[in-house]
Amino acid sequence: TTTIGVLALQGAFREHRQRLEALGARVREVRLPTDLSGLDGLILPGGESTTIARLMTDFGLWDPIREFHARGGALWGTCAGAILLAREVLGAPPQFGGQQDSLAVMDLSVRRNAFGRQVDSFHTGLDIPELGAPFPAVFIRAPVIERVGEGVEVLARHEGRIVLARQGRLLASSFHPELTPDTRLHALFLKMAAVPVPG
């Protein structure tokens, strides 16, 4: 069985757990570096990226997660989690000097709260060609992927803006696929995490 960790510091981690368990995966909540051992993949959930980042510092998780990925572990960031994966974070609040820590493992530029404050959240049937029928996507103060590097595949756009991308064993989504019962994206991530690591 594939074992997936869900970073359980803040945000929508319980819902990810439910979707994964519905697919028969084994799930572990990750709070400490030792929780990463033996996992095939790790989900960084949505929530508040500066809060999650602060807790990652408190729990000493930055380098252990980078090393987990370097050893072949798959990573999926949803919403705030996508911000944490990105090489470049745009639109960080001025009180942080416009700077924000991230794992910088995925070659993306991600802009926080990019859909504006008037329309804080919305729902749409998102066309994800790889999955077939439209995916029910929930966006909550969502970031947008403004730039992707060469090795990054764009898997979906909303009104022309990139909201789902993959790079090797990395997946980033602007929206919250765990907040609807549709498990197709979780199934896709399970497949990515189950591929044996070369070498």
Q: What is the CA radius of gyration of the chain?
A: 15
Supply the minimum distance, in Å, between the C-beta of residue 83 and ligand GLN.
6
Give catalytic status of residue 146 as yes or no: no
Supply the minimum distance, in Å, between the C-beta of residue 142 and ligand GLN.
6
| Strand, helix or coil for residue 186 | helix
Supply the minimum distance, in Å, between the C-beta of residue 132 and ligand GLN.
25
146 in a known ligand binding site: no
Pairing relation of β-strands 106-111 and 144-148? antiparallel
Among 43, 44, 42, smallest CA distance to 81 is for 44
Residue 41 in contact with residue 73, Cβ under 8 Å? Answer: yes
Q: Which residues bind ligand GLN (CB under 6 A)?
A: 46-49, 79-80, 83, 112-113, 140-141, 143
Single-letter amino acid code for the residue at 138: V
141 in a known ligand binding site: yes
Comparing CB distances to ligand GLN, the nearer of 43 and 140 is 140
Phi/psi for 12 (5° steps) reads -90, 60
Say which of 15, 79, 158, 186 is annotated catalytic. 79
Give catalytic status of residue 67 as yes or no: no
49 in a known ligand binding site: yes
Comparing CB distances to ligand GLN, the nearer of 50 and 167 is 50
Comparing CB distances to ligand GLN, the nearer of 2 and 56 is 56
- SS3 of 2-28: CEEEEECCCCCHHHHHHHHHHCCCEEE
Give catalytic status of residue 176 as yes or no: yes
Nearby residues of 155 by Cβ (< 8 Å), 6 or more positions away:
128, 129, 130, 164, 165, 166
Supply the minimum distance, in Å, between the C-beta of residue 23 and ligand GLN.
22
47 in a known ligand binding site: yes
Say which of 69, 158, 176, 186 is annotated catalytic. 176
Binding residues for L-glutamine: 47-49, 112, 140-141
Q: Which residues carry out catalysis? A: 79, 176, 178
